[in-house]
Structure 1
Amino acid sequence: MALGFSLGVGFLPVFLELAGLDDHSFLSNEVVMGIIGAIIFLILSSLTYDYFAKILKKIEKFINEQSLSDLIFGSLSAIVGLLLGALLSIPLYSIKVAYLNIILPSLMMVVLGFIGARVGTTKTEEFKKMFAPRPKKGTEEILERKAGEHFRKYKILDTSVIIDGRIYDVARTGFIEGTLLIPKFVLYELQYIADSGDSMKRVRGRRGLDILNELQKEPSISVEMYEGDFDDIQEVDTKLVKLAKVLDGIVVTNDFNLNKVCEFQNVPVFNINALANAIKPVVIPGETMDVIVMKDGTERQQGVAYLDDGTMVVVEDGKHFMNEKINVIVTSALQTAAGRMIFAKPSHSQTTINQ
């Protein structure tokens, strides 16, 4: 309305003069012209408010997703580009072609300002290096390495790996470097599970919230919250993949399907189950171990036992030793996507069967 009032006072008399209505004393009043302009702009603003609100929301979301260094260097470089464009466009004002002496300088300033902003955001590391203190002699090779080439700061946790709980022990040992990032939508999903009417889900959700509190209280672990969200995406897994792309982070999960989706979209992923399988003790055919046969196997006469770490042991003729602790000899081991599987046979099976 303020803009409309000022434009009404400045330009409406000109239009009235062209229309031949400037003889009316009522319309020639500056206050009336200003009120008419304010009313026109009030109507226009009410019609276009939603459109401009969406544009501002997208701009705000884009700014929130950028790092502080990119914003600072991008802004400074854009200002330098605009100043350079203003200097280079001075000769263009002398062009005698109508409007061309206005369009060309404006275009040059916009182009150079955009180029400056792009240079500032893509060359952030080089700018930091220019202002950084000179390294001591003999340390140039270490300090010259770009952290972004071999290190991603954010490790983005999904719901399943938080509920699982092993991420706390792994992070506390220091094997995961950088910052553990907890997205707001993952926290909401944990809260939803903790408030579920299903008792099993409720226990799992509360366990996940407890793990988050333990992670945050651990002084040796860096934990941050991500307050942003992707309103156009409904699935939490899809949001995690999108966030990892935006932040150049790594998704940490033990969800097999999410692992495959991340691999397909070239998003780095840490799978806690894969880590657990990798550090399990290697068994060699011929080794012996003590196991308790827990249940029948899928094949005839087979029995199934489990090691302390959850590894499945398929025992030949194990059906004869149900719920008994027996000594078995490893015959082979199979590594699958779900984990390691060991095949064995009782070391005293022949004697026991004969008896």
Structure 2
Amino acid sequence: MELLTVWEQELKKRSFSEIIFAVIGIILGLIIAFLISQPIYKIPIPYVGMAISIILYGILGYLGFRTGLSYKDDLSLKIRDLVAGGKKISKDKGKIKFQSDLPKVLDTSVIIDGRILDITKSGFVEGTIVIPVFVLEELQHIADSSDSLKRKRGRRGLDIVKEMQGLENANIVIEQSLYEDISEVDSKLLKLTSDLNGKIVTNDYNLNKVALVQNIPVLNINELANAVKPVYLPGEEMEVQIIKTGKELNQGLGYLDDGTMIVIENGKHLIGKTVNVTVTSALQTSAGKMIFAKPN
């Protein structure tokens, strides 16, 4: 009873955290003692294995108790660091998510192209979509052209902008910066995108190249279109209408719905007909993908 009283008085002197770490130390000490004592039990001399095991339990349990108390502060700091590290990672993840929301600056060509409207509707373009006011001025200038084709393209571009502004799932911003000291529209686009720390959305090959040289990120609509085209492997069959002759002897040409060119061997005599063909190979070019096939 006196021993229990002594333990009770000792426990009252300790804080709750000290008791927790002491108990953890004792448990770890006893586990280690259990693992070590297993081969000792097999000593053939009577009672020796048991006696040594009991001593091991006592020594390692006491060492665990003292270690838990001695390193309480160090262990507390480690736990705090782990918790703080977890919070820091969460914040960092939030920042990364925020940084992915870069402004997307549209150029004139991609607006006139029109596919950006469907891409925005689908939700594949996230974040703020910026339409510079000088791009709108260029669209208006094209819409006022004496050339009927240019006039139609310019009006189509203005209609696309108006329809994009009406989308509920898109944040469309008209940027008012004019950059009057810069004459070229493409140069203004590069400057604006750099100032906004954003990305240029275009299908202009030359603007794409200049932006990459200046380390400005580019989203190219043509590259996206090529990336999502279906992949046809050699041996697959498809149905295609042959509409004209190819460059080589006896070749016929057809097109898929997405504009992919199909070159059909010995298909010249089948012009105007819809035939079943088997894919022989595919070639990726700067202008897009070409598929070579032969009639079944």
Match of 1:182 among 123, 131, 145: 131
Q: How many angstroms apart in 1 are the aligned matches of 2:86 and 2:96?
A: 19
Which structure has the larger Rg? 2
Q: Please report how far the alpha carbon of residue 143 of structure 1 lies from its aligned counterpart in structure 2 after TM superposition.
A: 2.6
* Residues 23-75 of structure 1 deviation map (CA, whole Å, 9 limit, x = unaligned): xxxxxxxxxxxxxxxxxxxxxxxxxxxxxxxxxxxxxxxxxxxxxxxxxxxxx
| Closer/same/farther in 2, CA of residues 287 and 334 from structure 1, 3 Å limit | same
Match of 1:300 among 225, 249, 255: 249
Q: How many angstroms apart in 1 are the aligned matches of 2:248 and 2:85?
A: 68
The answer to whether structure 1 residue 143 and structure 2 residue 126 are counterparts is: no
Q: How many angstroms apart in 1 are the aligned matches of 2:214 and 2:295?
A: 46
Paired residue for 1:270? Answer: 219
Match of 1:329 among 278, 281, 296: 278
The answer to whether structure 1 residue 203 and structure 2 residue 152 are counterparts is: yes
Q: Per the alignment, in what secondary structure is the counterpart of residue 195 of structure 2?
A: helix
Q: How many angstroms apart in 2 are the aligned matches of 1:136 and 1:213?
A: 48
Structure 1 runs, 4 residues or longer, greater than 2 Å off: 135-150
Match of 1:251 among 197, 200, 203: 200
* Residues 110-161 of structure 1 deviation map (CA, whole Å, 9 limit, x = unaligned): xxxxxxxxxxxxxxxxxxxxxxxxx999665233332488425210000111
Q: Per the alignment, in what secondary structure is the counterpart of residue 144 of structure 1?
A: helix
Q: Indicate conservation of the 8 Å contact 2:101/2:128, yes or no.
A: no
Q: Please report how far the alpha carbon of residue 232 of structure 1 lies from its aligned counterpart in structure 2 after TM superposition.
A: 2.1
Q: How many angstroms apart in 2 are the aligned matches of 1:239 and 1:298?
A: 41
The answer to whether structure 1 residue 161 and structure 2 residue 110 are counterparts is: yes
Paired residue for 1:220? Answer: 169
* Residues 185-205 of structure 1 deviation map (CA, whole Å, 9 limit, x = unaligned): 100000011111111111111
Structure 1: 5+ residue runs without aligned partners? 1-134, 348-355
Paired residue for 2:35? Answer: none
Q: Please report how far the alpha carbon of residue 307 of structure 1 lies from its aligned counterpart in structure 2 after TM superposition.
A: 0.1
Q: Please report how far the alpha carbon of residue 335 of structure 1 lies from its aligned counterpart in structure 2 after TM superposition.
A: 1.0
Q: How many angstroms apart in 1 are the aligned matches of 2:292 and 2:123?
A: 34
Q: How many angstroms apart in 1 are the aligned matches of 2:222 and 2:152?
A: 21
Q: How many angstroms apart in 1 are the aligned matches of 2:255 and 2:158?
A: 30
Q: How many angstroms apart in 2 are the aligned matches of 1:142 and 1:173?
A: 29
* Residues 77-104 of structure 1 deviation map (CA, whole Å, 9 limit, x = unaligned): xxxxxxxxxxxxxxxxxxxxxxxxxxxx
Q: How many angstroms apart in 2 are the aligned matches of 1:183 and 1:327?
A: 48
What's the RMSD between the two structures over aligned residues? 2.0
Q: Per the alignment, in what secondary structure is the counterpart of residue 280 of structure 2?
A: strand
Q: Per the alignment, in what secondary structure is the counterpart of residue 268 of structure 2?
A: helix
TM-score normalised over the length of structure 2: 0.68
**Amino acid of the structure 2 residue aligned with 1:271:** N
**Amino acid of the structure 2 residue aligned with 1:325:** T
Q: How many angstroms apart in 1 are the aligned matches of 2:201 and 2:280?
A: 34
Paired residue for 2:56? Answer: none
Paired residue for 2:258? Answer: 309
Q: Indicate conservation of the 8 Å contact 1:163/1:207, yes or no.
A: yes
Paired residue for 1:342? Answer: 291
Q: Please report how far the alpha carbon of residue 267 of structure 1 lies from its aligned counterpart in structure 2 after TM superposition.
A: 0.6
Q: Highest relative contact order (Cα 8 Å, sep 6+), 1 or 2?
A: 2
Match of 1:192 among 130, 141, 155: 141
Q: How many angstroms apart in 2 are the aligned matches of 1:277 and 1:328?
A: 22
Q: Indicate conservation of the 8 Å contact 1:302/1:315, yes or no.
A: yes
| Paired residues, number | 213
Q: How many angstroms apart in 1 are the aligned matches of 2:252 and 2:224?
A: 27
Describe how 1:45-64 pairs up with structure 2 within 5 A. Answer: none
More displaced 10-residue stretch of structure 1: 230-239 or 145-154: 145-154
Q: Indicate conservation of the 8 Å contact 1:152/1:248, yes or no.
A: no
Q: How many angstroms apart in 1 are the aligned matches of 2:261 and 2:91?
A: 47
